[in-house]
C-alpha cells in the first residue's frame, strides 16, 4: 500500500509560520493539498511571501498577525480562521521565544516573556484548536491533528535556557494530557522535538560560523534542515499517523545522545 | 544517643516552607522544627492555620514566624526573605510546597484558572527558589554552610493525568527547574532536589473527594492506603540533613507504588 500524505480538503493553521520550521511546515502542507492559515507576530513581508507560495500551489492562504501570548487576539484569530476557511483540521503550535540568561541574576520580565509565548501561547493554541475540533466532531466532521513543536531541550537542559526548557518540557506534558482527553473525539495530539535546526531563530543565538563548528559535536555531524522537520510534521498530520497520539517524536540527528561530559 | 543527634541535626538552621500552614507543608514545618530548625511558615490567606502551626513550633522551643503572602507575588517573596534575614540572620533551607489545582479538561478550562494553577505551582516555585538561591550563594561566599532547597513536585509530573493539564504542566516544569537550579548551584554545593509525592491524605483531599472515594482510591494503591504528610516530611528531613551531600538535581518519588501499578483496565471494571 502506498503511503497517503494527501491533505486535500484539509485546513491547517501554523503559528510562527513566517520563518524557520513554521514557514516550511506551512509550505509543505500546501504542497500536500491543504489550505493554510499563516500566523506570525513580527515579520509581515516573510509571512506574505509564505502565503504567496501557498497560493502558487493552488491552495487558499490566510495571513493573521497575532502574538500567541495574547489570549484575546488568539481567540479572535481562531474565530476569523474558522469563519473564513470553514473548518480547522490541523493545528501546529510552533511559535516560540527564548531569552538566554543564567537563573542566578535572571530578569523575571525576560523569564516571564519566554513562558508567555513558549508555554502559555502553546496552551492557547492547543486549547482553541481542541475546542473547534470538538465542535466539528459534534457536527459530524470527526478527527483533527494537533501537533506541538517542542524541543530536545525538553529532555536535555541547557545552561542559561531554563525558561525555554521548562516551557518545552511542560508543553510535551500538555500534549500528552490532551491526548487522553481528546481520544474520544478522535483528535490526535502529538509532540515533535526537533534537534538543532538551521533556522533564522538559531542564528540569533549562534553565528553561522559557530553553528558550523558546533555541528561537528552532533552524532550526525550536521544541523537539521527545516525540510527534514517539515516532513516529520507532514507525516504526523497525515492520515498515515492516525494511530499516533500522546507520542513524542524526536528528529534530532542524535542531538540528545550527543551530550557528554567534557 | 543517635536520637539526640538527630533531634538537633538542624539546630541553628533557618527554614522557609511555602504552603506551610496545612497539609504536607505543615507536616514539613513540624518535622524540621523537631530536627532543631527555626521555621518560617509561609502561606496564603489562612492566618489562623498559620498561627496554629507557629504555636506548635514554638512549643518545641524553636523560633517560628508566619508570613502570609501569595507566592506568585515576586516582590512579596523577596520581601519575605529580607524580613527573615532581618529577624533570623540567614536562610538555610527552602521547601517550595505551595500549590493549587483545578480539575477540568482542557476544553472546559478558562484561561484564568489554568493560569492561576501554573502561576502558583510553577512560577511561585521559581520565585521561592531562585530568590532564595541568590541569598544562599551570598551566604556561601560569606563563609556560611551551603543551603538546601527542596521542591515538592507530584506524580503528575510523571503521568499526565486527565483533567489536570495545568497542574501536570506546572509540576513537570518544576521537576526540570530543579535540574537547572541544581546545575547552577553545584559550584556552591547547594543541593536542590525534588520529591514527587503520590496521593497524600491531606485536608484538601477530604474537601475534594467523598470519604467513600478516598477509601476506594486507597484500595487501588498497592500500599493499600494514601500517603501521610509526615511521610513526605520525613523525606524532606532526609534531603536537608547531613546524610545528603552528593545528591542534587534528583527526584524522589513517594507514592506507595501507585505509578508502577498503573495498568490497563477493561471498561466494565470502571463502572
Top-confidence residue, B200 or B271: B200
Tell me whether A174 touches chain B (CB under 8 Å). Answer: yes
Q: Which residue on chain A is closest to B116 by alpha carbon?
A: A120
With a CB cutoff of 8 Å and minimum separation 6, the contacts of B146 are B136, B140, B188, B189, B190, B191
- Distance from C-alpha of B70 to C-alpha of A159, rounded to nearest angstrom: 29
Cross-chain residue pair B109–A127, CB shorter than 8 Å: yes
Q: pLDDT of A58-89, one tens digit each? A: 999 999 999 999 999 999 999 999 999 999 99
Q: pLDDT of A140-182, one tens digit each? A: 999 999 999 999 999 999 999 999 999 999 999 999 999 999 9
Top-confidence residue, A213 or B42: B42
Distances (CA, A) of B203 to B72, B152, B228, B259: 23, 17, 11, 23
Tell me whether A107 touches chain B (CB under 8 Å). Answer: no
The interface pTM score, or ipTM, of the predicted complex is: 0.94
Q: pLDDT of B147-164, one tens digit each? A: 999 999 999 999 999 999
Cross-chain residue pair B107–A131, CB shorter than 8 Å: yes
**The three grid cell numbers given for residue B187, joined into one nine-digit string:** 559550584
Q: Which residue on chain A is closest to B109 by alpha carbon?
A: A127
- Distance from C-alpha of B253 to C-alpha of B148, rounded to nearest angstrom: 18
pLDDT at B1 over 50: no
With a CB cutoff of 8 Å and minimum separation 6, the contacts of B211 are none
Closest listed residue to residue A223, CA positions, set A233, A236, A210: A210
Q: Is B124 exposed, middle or buried (0-12, 13-18, 19+ CB in 10 A)?
A: buried
Cross-chain residue pair B169–A177, CB shorter than 8 Å: yes
Q: How many CB pairs under 8 A join A and B?
A: 106
Q: Is A226 exposed, middle or buried (0-12, 13-18, 19+ CB in 10 A)?
A: buried
pLDDT at B31 over 80: yes
Enter the pTM of the model.
0.96
Cross-chain residue pair A119–B173, CB shorter than 8 Å: yes
pLDDT in the model for residue B2: 47
**CA of B169 to nearest chain A CA: how many angstroms apart?**
5
* Contacting A residues, span 131-150, partner chain B, CB-CB under 8 Å: 131, 134
Rg (CA), chain A: 18
- Distance from C-alpha of B48 to C-alpha of B174, rounded to nearest angstrom: 29
| Interface probe, candidates A103, A165, A168, chain B, greatest B C-beta count within 10 A | A103
- Distance from C-alpha of B186 to C-alpha of B209, rounded to nearest angstrom: 41
Strand order in the sheet with A90-93: A61-65, A35-40, A11-14, A90-93, A145-149, A188-192, A248-249
pLDDT in the model for residue A1: 67
Cross-chain residue pair B126–A111, CB shorter than 8 Å: yes
Amino acid at each position: 500500500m502506498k503511503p497517503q500524505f494527501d491533505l486535500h480538503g484539509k485546513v491547517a493553521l501554523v503559528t510562527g509560520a513566517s520563518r524557520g520550521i513554521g514557514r516550511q511546515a506551512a509550505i509543505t502542507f500546501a504542497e500536500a493539498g491543504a489550505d493554510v492559515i499563516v500566523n506570525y507576530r513580527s515579520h509581515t513581508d516573510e509571512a506574505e511571501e509564505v502565503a504567496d507560495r501557498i497560493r502558487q500551489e493552488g491552495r487558499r492562504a490566510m495571513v493573521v498577525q497575532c502574538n500567541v501570548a495574547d489570549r484575546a487576539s488568539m481567540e479572535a484569530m481562531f474565530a476569523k480562521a474558522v469563519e473564513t476557511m470553514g473548518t480547522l483540521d490541523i493545528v501546529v503550535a510552533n511559535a516560540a521565544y527564548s531569552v538566554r540568561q543564567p537563573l542566578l541574576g535572571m530578569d523575571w520580565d525576560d523569564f516571564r516573556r519566554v513562558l508567555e509565548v513558549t508555554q502559555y501561547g502553546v496552551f492557547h493554541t492547543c486549547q482553541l484548536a481542541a475546542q473547534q475540533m470538538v465542535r466539528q466532531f459534534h457536527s459530524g466532521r470527526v478527527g483533527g491533528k494537533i501537533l506541538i513543536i517542542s524541543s530536545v531541550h525538553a529532555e536535555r537542559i541547557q545552561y542559561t535556557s531554563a525558561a525555554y526548557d521548562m516551557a518545552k518540557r511542560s508543553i510535551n506534558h500538555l500534549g500528552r494530557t490532551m491526548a487522553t482527553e481528546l481520544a474520544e473525539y478522535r483528535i490526535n495530539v502529538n509532540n515533535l522535538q526537533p534537534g538543532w535546526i538551521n533556522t533564522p531563530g538559531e542564528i540569533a543565538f549562534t553565528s553561522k560560523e559557530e553553528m558550523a563548528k558546533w555541528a561537528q559535536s552532533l552524532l550526525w555531524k550536521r544541523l537539521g534542515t527545516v525540510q527534514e522537520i517539515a516532513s516529520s510534521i507532514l507525516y504526523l498530520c497525515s492520515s498515515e499517523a492516525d494511530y499516533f497520539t500522546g507520542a513524542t517524536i524526536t528528529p534530532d540527528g542524535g542531538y540528545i545522545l550527543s551530550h557528554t561530559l567534557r | 544517643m543517635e536520637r539526640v543527634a538527630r533531634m538537633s541535626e538542624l539546630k541553628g538552621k533557618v527554614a522557609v516552607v511555602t504552603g506551610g500552614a496545612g497539609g504536607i507543608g505543615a507536616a514539613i514545618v513540624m518535622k524540621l522544627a523537631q530536627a532543631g530548625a527555626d521555621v518560617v511558615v509561609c502561606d496564603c490567606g489562612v492566618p489562623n492555620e498559620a498561627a496554629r502551626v507557629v504555636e506548635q513550633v514554638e512549643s518545641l522551643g524553636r523560633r517560628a514566624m508566619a508570613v502570609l503572602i501569595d507566592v506568585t507575588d515576586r516582590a512579596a517573596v523577596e520581601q519575605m526573605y529580607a524580613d527573615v534575614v532581618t529577624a533570623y540572620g540567614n536562610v538555610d533551607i527552602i521547601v517550595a510546597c505551595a500549590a493549587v489545582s483545578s480539575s477540568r479538561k482542557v476544553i472546559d478550562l478558562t484561561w484564568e484558572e489554568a493560569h492561576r494553577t501554573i502561576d502558583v505551582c510553577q512560577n511561585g516555585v521559581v520565585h521561592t527558589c531562585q530568590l532564595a538561591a541568590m541569598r544562599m550563594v551570598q551566604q556561601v561566599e560569606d563563609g556560611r554552610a551551603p543551603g538546601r532547597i527542596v521542591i515538592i513536585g507530584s506524580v503528575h509530573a510523571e503521568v499526565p493525568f486527565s483533567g489536570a493539564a495545568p497542574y501536570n504542566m506546572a509540576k513537570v516544569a518544576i521537576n526540570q527547574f530543579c535540574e537547572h537550579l541544581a546545575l547552577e548551584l553545584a559550584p556552591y554545593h547547594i543541593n536542590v532536589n525534588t520529591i514527587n509525592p503520590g496521593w497524600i491524605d491531606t485536608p484538601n483531599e477530604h474537601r475534594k473527594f467523598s470519604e467513600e472515594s478516598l477509601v476506594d482510591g486507597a484500595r487501588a494503591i498497592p500500599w493499600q492506603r494514601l500517603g501521610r504528610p509526615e511521610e513526605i516530611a520525613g523525606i524532606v528531613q532526609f534531603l536537608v540533613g547531613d546524610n545528603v551531600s552528593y545528591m542534587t538535581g534528583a527526584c524522589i518519588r513517594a507514592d506507595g507504588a501507585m505509578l508502577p501499578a498503573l495498568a490497563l483496565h477493561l471498561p466494565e471494571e470502571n463502572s
